[in-house]
Structure 1
Amino acid sequence: MRRARHLSIRARLTLTYAGMVTAAGVVLIALVYFYTRYVTLSIQIGDPVGETAAVPVSQVGEAAKVDTNLFDLLSSIMRSAVGALALLVVLSGTVGWILAGRMLQPLSSMNAAAKRAASGDLSQRLDLSGPRDEIHDLADIFDNMLASLERSFSVHRRFAANASHELRTPLATTQTMIDVALSDPQASAEDLRRVLIRVLETNRANRETIDALLDLADAQSGKLAHEDVDMEATVRDALGLIAPEVAEHHLHVSTHLLPARVPGDPVLLRQSVSNLLRNAARYNIEGGRITVGMARLDDGVRLTIRNEGPVVAAESVESLREPFVRGEGRGRTRGSGHGLGLAIVTAVATAHGGELRLSANPDGGLTAVLELPVGQAENASSAADSNHAAAS
């Protein structure tokens, strides 16, 4: 069965407006008619007659003439009122149609933009002008949503292209090593062992890249665990993980830590701190220094990590946040790592309501500042400690 076609919102608004005008006009005409027809007839001319008396014939004729004239007057008033009401209904419908069209124009533009967005075009914006009303607010929210979607899809497309390239290259290398080993009938067991070791190293690097991609996806999804995380213990654990690399390259680590707890995902926060410290050790000079400090803010905790690595151009610092960017540019370098460390830290900080700031040191190296908001429990604890100290 074919569904009946519904009227548009513009048509319904017009009919509602015209219907209200019609109803108001009908009520007004009825009141005028009632007042003119009945109230007027109740008015008596002359003094009231106290007793029965004879009425001259001439007065009876005059009364009938007055009644006839009154009926003609009422009929003329009704015809004029109905005609005026009909004209008013037509005018109100026309004005209502025009006003409804102007009021609903942003919705029409929004509908067209939504259709284009569904087909993949996210570039159009409404940029609505005029008074700040509900439709204007809705248009602004719609524009912000399109802008956010456009940025997200742009990042995802670039990220997918980089990730596919990063995984395709080692897979092709592995395939080449296996093909060469199999094509050599004179290959000894030692040769095959060396090939297998190289394949194992390549697969280990691939696994690290995939794990990092999963961590980044978890951070960007916003689905975080909310636990009470001890940041001091987290930093100390991360320092223990880089201890072998610190000893191998004779690095000097100085720390200034303090008790601090933040609400968040313990796994992602531990991964973020580890990435920052691992970068500070990996991109450092032989015998360089790593400075780790913590500070308590009014509404958060600040972790500052500074190293003495090679000089980084100030204009290229922000690009280090992008996936698969290491050192001086994009793509793999001779150094180890998958190039996702700072991208993960940035995503984790944003997901926790914090931020990661990067700055190049004038004498070389990088300074990373990670700020995270503290929970109500931490604020209450800090206030209690301050009050206790003041009382002492």
Structure 2
Amino acid sequence: MSTPSPAGPATAGYAASSPTSKPAGRRGLTIRLKLTLWYGGLFVLAGVVLIAINFFMVRDSLTPAPEKARAAVAERFGIPPEALEFGRLPGIPGEQGRIERYVTINGIPLPRLLSEAQRELKEEALRQLWTWSLVALAIVAVVTFGGAWLLAGRMLRPLHAITSTARRLSTTTLHERINLHGPRDELKELADTFDEMLSRLDAAFTAQKEFVANASHELRTPLTIIRTEIDVALSDPDLSPQELAEMGAAVTEAVERSERLIDALLVLASAESPPVQSEVDLAELAQKEVELRSEEADEQGLRLELDLSPALVSGDRSLLERLVGNLVENAIRHNLPGGWFSVRTLTAQGGAVLEIANSGPLISPEETERLFDRFYRPDRSRSRKTGGFGLGLSIVKSVATAHKGTVQLIPLAEGGLRVLVRLPVAPTRPGSSAASAARNPAASPPGHSVSTTG
């Protein structure tokens, strides 16, 4: 029979106090108490310094009166104070007629006794000065600590409002605000900053809820189509091959729609993280995207104005391709038959600029501000027909923001929209494609600076 190892309890005890289990720390001193101690401590320190300076100044200048010294000596030896005064012999002028009534007392010279009495009187006066100064300092210090406690509490009252508001916050109470009133000081700025943060959080949570609701709705629609088609096919055993083909086409279209939505959502998620840095020319991407969608533009009879100059940026090529592709696609799909659209790239003021404009219906300024909202579609019937989800410009803005750029929407007076995307230009290295194109314009990709009619 084996005996238990004595290391068992020790090991168990060591495991119980392992660093992974952190005990709850004790609450430290409150800010109010710290401020009170600091204010009071500084006052006491300043008071002690002031008393010390005053003590040394009085010590160096204080000299007790001779009358008080003679009175102290007379009181000590029990003789009248007048007996210690100096007198003069009658009829003898000058210092020869000056005598002392008591030259010595008990064998001690009178001047020595008077000097010692003056010293003792001075020490007693300084002792009383020091004692009463400290007593006064103690009384004033108590008043100071009390006043500092009240003053700190009054000054920190806005922090209690901020704390109580923060404790009440949840996803359903983000509409609450501190609304602190008072002078424009640091605490007022803190409260206003906290309110601004709450506004941003409220907007972010609202956008997230709308995004989840819209995404769920958009995904539910093709899934409902797929389920309906499959249920109909399963309930009819005599389904003809043509009906099966139609059912398969409907299911395929619904699946493709779901894939496009999921792909768009993945692009949005990718744009939230830092992009992979590589050298990309916006002119090259624009040329490629225009060529890919040239047939769709020809079907609508759109006139294309193309003016591409090298615009080199640093970023994620796939995300930038999606940015340019979405803008070109919107310019074609949200256009009028026989209309026009233009694509232009250039480098200006240290930034790479992509400008895409198109004809189309009139867009109000209020509607322009909402075009960046996710799943927002000005014309839902047209968007459904063309397969849009209202995520195109949201993706454009997210990609531009991830690349430290900006996107500006400008509604045209005659109808349509102009989109300006500005991105930081990439540092031009010797031998790069942009530098070569700048030195040799003939080496630019074909199709630059052209105007075609579909």
Q: Does 1:145 align with 2:197?
A: yes
Q: Does 1:271 align with 2:322?
A: yes
Counterparts of 1:147 and 1:370, CA distance in 2? 27
Of 39, 57, 60, the residue aligned with 1:17 is: 39
Counterparts of 2:347 and 2:169, CA distance in 1? 45
Superposition TM-score, scaled by structure 1 size = 0.80
Q: Does 1:55 align with 2:82?
A: no
Instruction: Say which is worse superposed, 229-238 or 139-148, in terms of deviation.
Output: 139-148
Counterparts of 2:250 and 2:359, CA distance in 1? 32
Letter in 2 for 1:307: N
2:104 counterpart SS class:
coil
Of 288, 294, 311, the residue aligned with 1:237 is: 288
Counterparts of 1:4 and 1:254, CA distance in 2? 71
Letter in 2 for 1:14: T
Counterparts of 2:138 and 2:182, CA distance in 1? 36
Deviations 1:339-369 (A, max 9, x none): 2111111222233333323333344433222
Of 180, 184, 195, the residue aligned with 2:232 is: 180
CA change 1:30–1:288 in 2 (3 A) is: closer
Counterparts of 2:115 and 2:416, CA distance in 1? 113
The residue number in structure 2 matching 1:113 is: 165
Letter in 1 for 2:281: D
The residue number in structure 1 matching 2:78 is: none
The residue number in structure 2 matching 1:49 is: none
Q: Does 1:7 align with 2:29?
A: yes
Of 304, 309, 313, the residue aligned with 1:262 is: 313
1:275-294 matches, cutoff 5 A: 275-294=326-345
Letter in 2 for 1:192: L
Counterparts of 2:415 and 2:28, CA distance in 1? 69
Instruction: Say which is worse superposed, 146-155 or 122-131, in terms of deviation.
Output: 122-131
Contact 1:110 1:139 in 2 (8 A): yes
- Structure ID, larger Rg: 2
Counterparts of 1:253 and 1:337, CA distance in 2? 22
Deviations 1:4-60 (A, max 9, x none): 5422111022112222333443455456557767986899999xxxxxx96245947
| 1:69 CA displacement | 4.8
Letter in 1 for 2:33: A
1:111-260 matches, cutoff 5 A: 111-117=163-169, 120-123=172-175, 124-125=177-178, 130=183, 133=186, 138-139=190-191, 141-219=193-271, 221-260=272-311
Instruction: Say which is worse superposed, 247-256 or 72-81, in terms of deviation.
Output: 72-81
Deviations 1:249-293 (A, max 9, x none): 343322011111122322222101101111111222334322222
Contact 1:18 1:93 in 2 (8 A): yes
| 1:63 CA displacement | 6.3
Counterparts of 1:280 and 1:4, CA distance in 2? 63
Of 135, 156, 159, the residue aligned with 1:104 is: 156
Counterparts of 1:223 and 1:330, CA distance in 2? 35
Superposition TM-score, scaled by structure 2 size = 0.71
Letter in 2 for 1:211: D
The residue number in structure 2 matching 1:304 is: 355
Contact 1:110 1:126 in 2 (8 A): no
Root-mean-square deviation (CA, aligned residues, Å) is 3.7
| 1:166 CA displacement | 1.1
Counterparts of 1:327 and 1:82, CA distance in 2? 81
The residue number in structure 2 matching 1:81 is: 133
Q: Does 1:352 align with 2:403?
A: yes
Structure 2 stretches lacking a partner, 5+ long: 1-22, 71-101, 440-454
Counterparts of 2:154 and 2:312, CA distance in 1? 54
Structure 1 stretches lacking a partner, 5+ long: 47-52
